[in-house]
């Protein structure tokens, strides 16, 4: 695989924040968990945007697009769940 097509890279700050907030959401109480899950999805959306706009190759851009779509879906579910309470 050529160097210009890296598939695995060290995570950038938004992805690290998304992982950390997601882990926090799994170990905290309900209110804090909802806020952490929201922060995780927003950070993932930032990461996805960065990948789509400046990904190193087509694979990374598609990965960002898929991550962004997943994040928008998760954000919609989180907002709907918060409104239902």
pLDDT tens digits along 17-40: 999 999 999 999 999 999 999 999
Mean residue pLDDT across the chain: 91
Residue 43 lies in a domain: yes
Provide the number of structural domains found in the chain.
1
Give the confidence band of 85 by pLDDT, cuts at 50, 70, 90. confident
Is residue 25 one of the residues assigned to a domain?
yes
Q: With 90 as the cut, is the pLDDT of residue 10 above it? A: no
Measure the CA–CA gap between 79 and 82, rounded to whole angstroms.
5
- Is residue 6 in a domain? no
Residue 38 lies in a domain: yes
Q: Give 8 or 49, the one with higher predicted confidence.
A: 49
pLDDT (mean) for 58-66: 93
Residue 5 lies in a domain: no
Residue 62 has pLDDT above 90, yes or no: yes
Buried b (16+ CB within 10 A) or exposed e, 37-62: bbbbbbbbbbbbbbbbeebeeeebbe
- Identify the pLDDT of residue 75: 96
48 is in which domain, residue-wise?
Answer: 13-84
């Amino acid at each position: 695989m050529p160097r210009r097509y890296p598939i695995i890279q060290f995570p950038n700050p938004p992805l690290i924040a998304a992982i950390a907030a997601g882990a926090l959401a799994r170990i905290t109480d309900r209110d804090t968990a909802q806020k952490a899950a929201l922060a995780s999805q927003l950070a993932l959306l930032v990461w996805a945007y960065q990948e789509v706009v400046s990904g190193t190759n087509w694979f990374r851009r598609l990965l960002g697009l898929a991550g962004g779509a997943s994040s928008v879906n998760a954000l919609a579910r989180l907002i709907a769940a918060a409104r239902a309470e």
